[in-house]
Structure 1
């Protein structure tokens, strides 16, 4: 936040002007119910008669949140002309308890006052108020409270080099099915069935039940498994397997790419799902990545998220 302070004469006339930039740089750890902000006062242009700026900052935090402020130990920091930035830290602590099944939105509000100081004249004190980011903390995922900056679209990122056939299968579905499930314009929505929290029944509905049970081993993939997409743990998943397209991703020249995918059963593009022949290790690893993303991006039940595929 840019700030301007005026050095005044005895008759309140302007003798000089000083500028500083005040930054609040957050260090948000999504796995903790607290976050730190570095408060940095950077010197800017100051007229000849101004030697420094005195600046103080306090903050409050809305919602179920408390703060360790004020910054600079509760005193005015001295920002000198041509000098180094002055830094302090404020910690914000969420009052949401783990396993509480609740979430809370918090927004820091910063209260700043300061003045230009010189060898002559009278410091012209001025104040400002500005808001920080909207932070959502929850106790609904895992065994700890966690926080995110609200408004960011959560995502799960799968590298084709790391997750191989699994990542290629998801990319193929996004590029070839009308639903384009999980891309930036067709987000997935997380789904938790309290009677089926691991989505085993929904996965079985796609892979094992009905007239077209998934034919493991039919296309020669080692340790073959049924990798369903959209995920069974999404609102878009849990489809009847007979309506899915069965595909097999393969390497071509040592590279995993959608060019190596063959369609084994079904006719795109209007299918609501795919079932991919994927090595069970890659399938399991991709499932673990989804679980980690749910934790790190705090993806709540029914919340939208993007699936990103990288090389």
Structure 2
């Protein structure tokens, strides 16, 4: 038996401070509070233009889970999802990452998480598609609704099926409150469809991507950069004179006099020999001095029967050295100083102007030099000049034909103008570079010697070839020319060049990224196949285009690498009807040095305003513009990359015209979340021992951006380029910036 002793209970006397006390927040008479409102939905069509057609993410008639929110709009289409897997599994793991919230437009939206476009991202990719329930024939503005939460990605890429192509718009989803965001105006000819996937360049599976409603508002909108009104072609339009190129100053406006047989270098004239007697030396001023009016008043023009000859009409309007594609102008002040007992006693100055012109863009180069004194001191008495221009390389020069006399004194009768004409001729057959030089000898009865000088202008180097249309010709190849497309005669071609030049990131054909002519026929056909995206496509020129024009390719390989575009038209059994066949007329002048795609020493079409060579931002919002998307990869063998590894892709290898080297076009796309620099090592191999290694490096590349460049692969052993070279990306190093 258990016995318990229980003391009598007593009340605590300090309970005010030591006991617990009940707090009743809502007593029995307190009324029940209303439900809270977190993330209130949008329940109206506010923010949309009148007549906008809404496609919600839930079917019409779906009950709204949020109280007080009713469907006051008509659902004018359908929304559907498609899920992905790895292609071999029977389940779709991407479905587990699809969620929904009772907010946004109409009190409901879906969301997933962004991932990169790699194997894992493709396996977990979700694609949402909005489709209108009616056709739209004309332009319409497309809007997307973004909720006030559950929308975190800055790289939501919407695809809009338009009448011409699938356009893309990348926008940032985060923002303030529920809102409608315009993707832009587009032209439609069928049922509009809009797609959005969970793929993003910086995706890691952490950021939300929202699928809410869209709206299509038909109307009379201007579709920027795609609404091109082309006038009818005018076959009778006058031909453009492509030889009329703007001139520009040389970087080095005055080349030096090189000493020979008693001459001196640039600068102040020095004593020629340390002994008693008189001597004459020559120098060229560091800057050309234009003759003053007083000096010109002492000059006597050529006799009327001879007349003064001018080859370059703009030569008298400039100072220093200027040149264009087919013309050049040289100005020089040559000073002769007479020394007696090592002290200068007098000077003579000669004005020299040389005008150079390539005759009819061919292989004959004519020049005429105008020479006269602007100063002869009485201590000198008189001077006589021997002038002998020449050319160096595969060329020959005729003896100079002198008009007037090249001797001047101080008799007060005036100094006559003298002119010397010379014709140089390229004597090569394929490709050569030739240089012009000028030899001068000056004599004076006041001097005991006969100094001579020889000079040339490095930038006046001529390139002569017969590689374009078998038409031989010479040009000043260091001048980057401007090719003007004949818009009245070829409006379609002009519009195509304009669109490529202004809308592509590289702005091909601009001063910062000039084009080069591609002469290799195999490379041309490969580029055309890339453009047509069909291995059976063939070049189909317009029947009115002359054969010599058909043989020229004006769009650079840089443009081909970026988009597969060329200046040619192509057709195949599967190509769409209405493919443009307009081909722009090309200049008959020879091309500059063969150079890699996108090099800076090449001709550039410029029939249109040039866009600035800056990349557009990766996030675009409210652009209101329609742009073609990057072409998708088809089944053509020409489309397949030569090699790919991580973020690096090697495009189709392009043989150089000499047959001993390859252009290796490489593109690097930063798929990470932060900027990074890249280094890639690529190995090119082939039969007969062909082997070459190239290295590609980039600076900091922002997320989602692509850098493209070309390298040259050449076997050290001199092995010819194989017909089927192989590319292997040996190493890729990615360094976060």
**TM bin (shorter chain):** 0.5 to 0.7
1:136 is aligned to 2:463: yes
8 Å CA contact 1:31–1:144 kept in 2: the answer is no
The Cα offsets for residues 73-99 of structure 1, whole Å up to 9 and x where unpaired, read as: 9x97224664342001111111212xx
2: distance between equivalents of 1:138 and 1:163?
Answer: 28
Residue by residue over 1:271-306, the C-alpha shift from the partner in whole angstroms, topping out at 9 and shown as x without a partner, is xxxx9x8975xx23x2x2x2xx2x224346546322
Q: For the aligned residues, what is the CA RMSD?
A: 3.8
TM-score, reference length from structure 2: 0.29
Cross-structure match for 2:335 = 4
Among candidates 495, 498, 523, match of residue 168 of structure 1: 495
SS in 2 for 1:18: strand
Residues 515 and 602 in structure 2, CA contact (< 8 A), matched pair in contact too: yes
2:347 equivalent in structure 1: 17
Alpha-carbon displacement from aligned partner over 1:199-235 (angstroms, at most 9, x marks no partner): 466435424738xxxxxxxxxxxxxxxxxxxx67531
In the other structure, the counterpart of 2:367 is 37
1: CA distance, partners of 2:408 / 2:456: 22
Compared CA separation, residues 186 and 7, structure 1 to 2 (3 A):
closer
Distance 1:6 1:201, change over 3 A: closer
- Cα shift at 1:35: 0.6
| Richer in strand (by share) | 1
Higher helix share: 1
CA distance in 1, matches of 2:439, 2:405: 13
Structure 1 residue matching 2:498: 3-state secondary structure: helix
- Give the unaligned 5+ runs of structure 1: 211-230, 245-274
- 1:236 match: secondary structure: helix
Distance 2:336 2:503 in 1: 59
Alpha-carbon separation, structure 2, partners of 1:238 and 1:57: 50
Asked if 1:72 corresponds to 2:365, the answer is no
Q: Judging changes above 3 Å, is the alpha-carbon distance between structure 1 residues 173 and 79 closer, same or farther for their aligned structure 2 residues?
A: farther
Deviates more, 1:152-161 or 1:84-93: 152-161
Q: 1:96-135 residue pairs with structure 2 within 5 A? A: 96-97=428-429, 102-116=430-444, 121-122=446-447, 125-132=450-457, 133-135=460-462
Structure 2 residue 510 is matched with structure 1 residue 183: yes
Corresponding residue of 1:234? 556
Shift of residue 38, structure 1, vs aligned partner: 0.7
Q: How many residues align?
A: 242
User: Retained in 2: the 8 A contact 1:189–1:304?
Assistant: yes
Tell whether the 8 Å contact from 1:26 to 1:35 is kept in structure 2 after alignment: yes
CA distance in 2 between partners of 1:3 and 1:300 (Å): 34
Matches within 5 A, 1:137-152: 137-152=464-479
Q: Assess, with a 3 A threshold, how the Cα gap between structure 1 residues 159 and 176 changes in structure 2: closer, same or farther.
A: same
* Per-residue deviation, 1:58: 1.9
Q: Say if 1:192 and 1:233, in contact at 8 Å, map to a contact too.
A: no
Cα deviation for residue 113 of structure 1 reads 0.9
1:198-277 superposed matches below 5 A: 199=524, 202-203=527-528, 205-207=530-532, 209=534, 234-238=556-560
C-alpha deviation, 1:186, in angstroms: 1.6
Q: Which residue of 1 aligns with 2:617?
A: none
**Residue 12 of structure 1: CA displacement?**
7.9
CA distance in 1, matches of 2:425, 2:528: 39
- Secondary structure of the residue that 1:189 maps to in structure 2? coil
Match of 1:193 among 520, 530, 546: 520
Instruction: Return 166-175 or 299-308, whichever deviates more.
Output: 299-308
**Conserved? CA contact 1:29–1:147, under 8 Å:** no
Report the 3-state secondary structure (helix = DSSP H, G, I; strand = E; otherwise coil) of the residue aligned with 1:61.
Answer: strand
Q: Give the C-alpha shift of residue 130 in structure 1.
A: 0.4
C-alpha separation between the residues in 2 aligned to 1:127 and 1:141? 41
Seen in structure 2, the aligned counterparts of structure 1 residues 80 and 135 have a Cα distance that, compared at 3 Å, is farther
Q: Secondary structure at the match of 2:423?
A: strand
Instruction: Tell me the CA shift for residue 24 of structure 1.
Output: 2.5
Change (3 A) 1:236 1:5: closer
- The 3-state SS of whatever aligns with 1:107 is strand
- Calculate the TM-score normalised by the size of structure 1: 0.63
User: Looking at CA atoms only, which structure, 1 or 2, has the larger radius of gyration?
Assistant: 2
User: How far apart, in 1, do the equivalents of 2:435 and 2:348 lie?
Assistant: 29
Match of 1:91 in 2: 423
Q: Please, which moves more after superposition, 154-163 or 82-91?
A: 154-163
Q: Deviations over 1:121-166 (max 9, x none)?
A: 4576432210142111112222332111131123322254554343
Q: Displacement of 1:55 after TM fit?
A: 0.9
Contact 1:59 1:110 in 2 (8 A): yes
Residue number in structure 2 paired with 1:267: none
- What aligned pairs does 1:41-52 form with structure 2 within 5 A after superposition? 41-49=371-379, 52=382
Change (3 A) 1:60 1:194: same
Q: Which gives a bigger RCO, structure 1 or 2 (Cα 8 Å, sep 6+)?
A: 1
Q: CA deviation at 1:64?
A: 0.9
**Quick one: distance in 1 between partners of 2:352 and 2:593?**
34
For 1:239 and 1:12, the matched residues in 2 are separated by: 67
Ranges in structure 2 where 5+ consecutive residues have no aligned partner: 1-331, 536-552, 566-575, 596-600, 610-737
Report the Cα distance in structure 1 between the residues aligned to 2:462 and 2:554, rounded to whole angstroms: 29
Matched, 1:296 2:621: no
Aligned partners of 1:154 and 1:297 also within 8 Å: no
